[in-house]
C-alpha cells in the first residue's frame, strides 16, 4: 500500500519529468502543488478516498484524484510507468542538482547521452561539459561542486540544527554597523520541521557597504566551503553540511525582498496572482504596473516597500504571519474573516512533560523546578517513565510513590514560587495495556500515555493501543502521538481519524512535543485536531534543565498549525488546569 509520502514523491518526480519534456508551466506545477499538499495532509489519502471525495483536497482535481485512486488500488500508476520508460530517472536526479535544472539536464542527455549523475560527474571531470552550448568552464566547475556537495549532504537539516546555526550568523553580522536590518527568511521563518538551506537577508542604506558584510560572511570560522561570493548574494557550506545563502539589499526594498524570500513558493504564486489582478507584476524588487498583456510598462513608477506589512496592505491583505504562508487558506483568511490570533511563547504558563534523575533525566525534581521558575513557568508536571521502560530506568510503583513524596517536599520548600504536579509518562505496552493499574493512576495529578516500543506494528494494533489509552479516564494527554523522530523515524501507522474522534469524545489532550527531533503532532495534524475541538499541550519533554528552552520550537509548530492559546491547556491559569485534570472525577 502506498503512503501519502510515496504518492507525493511520485507526483514530484512526474512534475520534474514533465518539466524535462518541456511541458507548459501549469501542467507540471499542478503535480508539484499536489505533491506539496499531500506531503502536509493531516489525513491518509486512503481514508479520504474511502469516503469517496479526493477532489475535496486543495490542489487535487479530477485528473489527479483518478491517479491517486489508481495508485491506492494497484500500487502503481500507468502514466508514471510510461514517463519512466521515456525519461531515465537519473536525468531527474541530474536536474535536481544545484546549478543544473531542466534545460541543462536535457542538454547533457541529448548531446552527450548522459543519463545519470555518475556519468555526469565523469564527463564534467573530463572537461566534456564546458564545450557545450551555453556552458563553459565555470558552469562545469559549478556542477562538479554541486555533485560533491550532494555527496556530503545528508538531505534536509532538522530545524533544531538549522535555526541555531542561522541565529549564530545573525548575531555575528548584526555587529557590523552597516547592517540596518537582518532576518532569517525561507523555510526556517515558516518553521518547517526540516530545512533545505538557510536564507538570511540583510538590508543596508548603501550597497557599497555590502562588500564588508559579504567578506565577514564568507570568512566565518565554521565555513567549510564558499560556494559563491558576490555583491547581492553569497553562499557558503558550513562544517556541519548546512548551506547558507546571504542576500544584501537596499533598505528601501526590505519589505518586498523579505516577503519574496520567506516564501513559500505556493504562497508567493498566489500573492503574485493577486498583484496581477490589480494590474501589477510582483517580484523580489517591486510592484510594477503592467499593461493588458501583462507586460511591465517601462516608464511607469515601480512601487517598492520597506516593510512586509506595507506590501500586503497594497494588495488589500493583512500582514500574514510567516508560519502560515503555505497557501492553505491564509490568503483568503487575511482578506476575509481574519487570521487567527496565533499562540506566542508568552502565552505559555507551564510545561507538562519532563524527566528527572528518577528515570532518565539529568537533574533532580528541585533543580527542574528551579529551572522552570527561571523561565517564568507557574506550574510544571514531573513525568518520569513507567516501570516497563527498562532502558529509561522506568519507575516501579514504589519509586513512583517515592517521587510523589519528593515532589511534596519540593512544593513545601518552594511555596508559591511554582507548583509542581505529580505525574507520569506511562508506556502504552505492546499489547495495548497501560503500564500502571487504574488505582495507581487515580492517585496521580496528571497522566501522559505514550508509545515508545513496538512502533512498527500494523495500523490496527497501533490504533487500538492509542484508543485504549485515550479511553482510560485517568489519562490526560497522549505524548508525541506519532512517535516520530526527525529525520530518521517515520510516524507510526495509526488511523488518526479514529484517534482524533476518541480524543474529542473523552476530552483527552494531544501533545505537540516541542523537542525539534519530534515536533509531534506535526503542524497539519495539530491544526486538524484543534479545528475539531481537541485540546492540545505544548511540552518540552525536558531531560535536562536547558531542554526547557526548546519550548519555542513547539510554539513555532503550533503557529504553523493555526493554533490559538485557548486550545493549549498549559496556557491556562493554574486553577483552570487543576480543575481540568479532575474533569472525570
What residue ranges bind ligand DGT (CB under 6 A)? 186-187, 192, 195-197, 199, 260-261, 263-265, 268-269
Residue whose C-beta lies closest to ligand DGT? 263
Pairwise CA distance, residues 493 & 5, whole Å: 12
The verdict on 186 binding Ca ion (CB under 5 A) reads: yes
The verdict on 511 binding Ca ion (CB under 5 A) reads: no
* DSSP-derived 3-state class of residue 267: helix
Pick the piece of the chain touching Ca ion (CB under 5 A) from 196-204, 284-292, 424-432, 490-498. Answer: 196-204
N- to C-terminal Cα distance for the chain? 43
Q: Tell me the three cell numbers of residue 221.
A: 570560522
Pick the piece of the chain touching Ca ion (CB under 5 A) from 100-108, 185-193, 264-272, 535-543. Answer: 185-193
φ, ψ dihedrals at 322, nearest 5° = -55, -35
Min CB(191)–Ca ion separation in Å: 12
264 binds, among Ca ion, ligand DGT, Zn ion, none (CB under 5 to 8 A by kind): ligand DGT
Min CB(284)–ligand DGT separation in Å: 8
268 binds, among Zn ion, ligand DGT, Ca ion, none (CB under 5 to 8 A by kind): ligand DGT
361 binds, among Ca ion, ligand DGT, Zn ion, none (CB under 5 to 8 A by kind): none
Cis amide prior to 487 (ω within 30 degrees): yes
Q: Long-range contact list for 47-53, CB < 8 A, 24+ apart? A: 47/495, 47/497
Min CB(199)–ligand DGT separation in Å: 5
One character per residue 233-262, x = contact with Ca ion (rule: CB under 5 A) = ------------x-----------------
541 binds, among Ca ion, Zn ion, ligand DGT, none (CB under 5 to 8 A by kind): Zn ion
What separation in angstroms does the CA of 363 have from each of 387, 400, 414, 479? Answer: 19, 16, 17, 21
Min CB(185)–Ca ion separation in Å: 8
What residues does 247 pair with on adjacent strands?
Answer: 201, 233
One character per residue 66-85, x = contact with Ca ion (rule: CB under 5 A) = --------------------
Please say whether the beta carbons of 553 and 519 come within 8 A.
Answer: yes
Q: Cell 567549510 identifies what position?
A: 224
Cis amide prior to 246 (ω within 30 degrees): no
Judged by CB, which is closer to ligand DGT: 190, or 377?
190
Judged by CB, which is closer to Zn ion: 67, or 353?
353
The candidate with the shortest Cα–Cα distance to 379, out of 391, 389, 369, is: 369
Pairwise CA distance, residues 293 & 321, whole Å: 33
Pairwise CA distance, residues 347 & 322, whole Å: 19
Judged by CB, which is closer to ligand DGT: 170, or 504?
170
Size of the site for Ca ion (CB under 5 A): 5
145 binds, among Zn ion, Ca ion, ligand DGT, none (CB under 5 to 8 A by kind): none
425 binds, among Zn ion, Ca ion, ligand DGT, none (CB under 5 to 8 A by kind): Zn ion
Please say whether the beta carbons of 217 and 265 come within 8 A.
Answer: no
Residue whose C-beta lies closest to Zn ion? 541
The verdict on 197 binding Ca ion (CB under 5 A) reads: yes
Judged by CB, which is closer to ligand DGT: 73, or 276?
276
φ, ψ dihedrals at 421, nearest 5° = -95, 155
Name the DSSP class of 301: P
Instruction: List residues binding Ca ion (CB under 5 A).
Output: 186-187, 197, 199, 245
Amino acid at each position: 500500500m502506498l503512503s501519502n509520502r510515496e504518492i507525493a514523491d511520485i507526483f514530484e518526480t512526474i512534475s520534474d519529468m514533465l518539466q524535462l519534456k518541456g511541458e507548459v508551466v501549469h501542467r507540471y506545477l499542478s503535480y508539484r502543488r499536489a505533491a506539496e499538499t499531500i506531503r502536509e495532509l493531516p489525513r491518509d489519502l486512503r481514508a479520504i478516498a474511502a469516503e469517496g471525495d479526493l477532489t475535496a483536497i486543495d490542489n487535487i482535481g479530477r485528473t489527479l484524484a483518478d491517479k491517486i485512486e489508481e495508485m491506492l488500488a494497484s500500487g502503481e500508476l500507468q502514466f508514471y510507468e510510461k514517463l519512466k520508460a521515456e525519461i531515465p530517472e537519473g536525468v531527474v536526479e541530474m536536474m535536481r542538482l544545484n546549478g543544473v535544472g531542466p534545460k541543462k539536464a536535457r542538454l547533457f542527455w541529448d548531446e552527450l547521452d548522459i543519463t545519470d549523475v555518475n556519468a555526469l560527474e565523469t564527463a564534467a571531470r573530463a572537461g566534456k561539459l564546458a564545450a557545450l552550448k551555453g556552458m563553459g568552464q565555470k558552469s562545469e566547475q559549478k556542477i562538479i561542486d554541486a555533485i560533491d556537495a550532494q555527496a556530503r549532504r545528508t538531505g534536509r537539516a532538522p530545524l533544531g540544527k538549522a535555526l541555531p546555526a542561522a541565529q549564530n550568523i545573525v548575531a555575528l553580522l548584526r555587529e557590523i554597523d552597516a547592517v540596518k536590518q537582518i532576518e532569517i527568511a525561507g523555510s526556517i521563518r515558516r518553521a518547517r520541521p526540516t530545512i533545505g538551506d538557510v536564507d538570511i537577508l540583510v538590508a543596508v542604506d548603501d550597497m557599497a557597504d555590502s562588500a564588508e558584510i559579504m567578506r565577514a560572511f564568507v570568512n566565518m570560522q565554521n565555513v567549510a566551503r564558499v560556494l559563491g561570493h558576490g555583491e547581492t548574494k553569497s553562499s557558503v557550506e558550513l562544517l556541519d553540511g548546512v548551506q547558507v545563502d546571504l542576500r544584501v539589499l537596499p533598505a528601501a526594498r526590505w519589505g518586498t525582498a523579505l516577503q519574496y524570500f520567506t516564501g513559500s513558493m505556493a504562497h508567493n504564486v498566489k500573492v503574485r496572482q493577486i498583484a496581477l489582478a490589480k494590474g501589477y507584476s510582483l517580484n523580489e524588487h517591486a510592484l510594477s504596473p503592467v499593461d493588458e498583456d501583462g507586460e511591465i510598462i517601462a516608464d511607469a513608477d515601480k512601487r517598492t516597500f520597506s516593510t512586509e506589512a506595507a506590501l500586503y496592505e497594497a494588495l488589500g491583505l493583512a500582514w500574514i504571519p510567516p508560519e502560515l504562508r503555505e497557501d492553505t487558506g491564509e490568503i483568503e483568511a487575511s482578506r476575509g474573516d481574519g487570521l487567527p490570533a496565533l499562540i506566542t511563547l508568552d502565552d505559555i504558563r507551564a510545561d507538562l512533560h519532563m524527566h528527572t534523575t528518577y528515570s532518565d533525566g539529568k537533574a533532580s525534581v528541585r533543580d527542574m523546578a528551579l529551572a522552570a521558575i527561571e523561565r517564568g513557568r507557574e506550574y510544571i508536571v514531573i513525568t518520569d517513565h513507567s516501570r516497563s521502560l527498562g532502558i529509561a530506568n522506568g519507575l516501579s510503583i514504589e519509586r513512583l510513590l517515592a517521587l510523589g513524596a519528593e515532589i511534596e517536599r519540593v512544593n513545601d520548600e518552594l511555596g508559591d514560587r511554582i507548583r509542581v504536579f505529580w505525574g507520569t509518562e506511562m508506556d502504552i505496552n505492546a499489547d495495548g495495556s497501560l503500564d500502571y493499574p487504574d488505582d495507581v493512576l487515580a492517585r496521580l495529578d496528571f497522566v501522559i500515555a505514550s508509545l515508545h516500543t513496538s512502533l512498527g506494528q500494523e495500523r490496527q494494533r497501533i490504533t487500538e493501543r492509542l484508543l485504549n489509552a485515550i479511553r482510560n479516564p485517568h489519562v490526560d494527554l497522549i505524548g508525541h502521538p506519532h512517535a516520530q523522530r526527525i529525520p530518521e523515524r517515520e510516524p507510526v501507522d495509526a488511523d488518526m481519524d479514529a484517534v482524533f474522534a476518541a480524543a474529542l469524545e473523552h476530552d483527552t489532550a494531544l501533545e505537540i512535543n516541542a523537542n525539534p527531533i519530534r515536533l509531534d503532532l506535526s503542524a497539519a495534524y495539530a491544526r486538524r485536531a484543534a479545528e475539531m475541538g481537541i485540546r492540545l499541550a505544548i511540552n518540552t519533554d525536558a531531560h535536562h534543565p536547558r531542554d526547557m528552552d526548546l519550548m519555542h520550537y513547539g510554539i513555532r509548530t503550533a503557529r504553523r498549525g493555526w493554533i490559538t492559546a485557548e486550545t493549549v491547556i498549559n496556557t491556562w491559569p493554574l486553577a483552570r488546569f487543576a480543575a481540568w485534570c479532575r474533569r472525570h472525577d
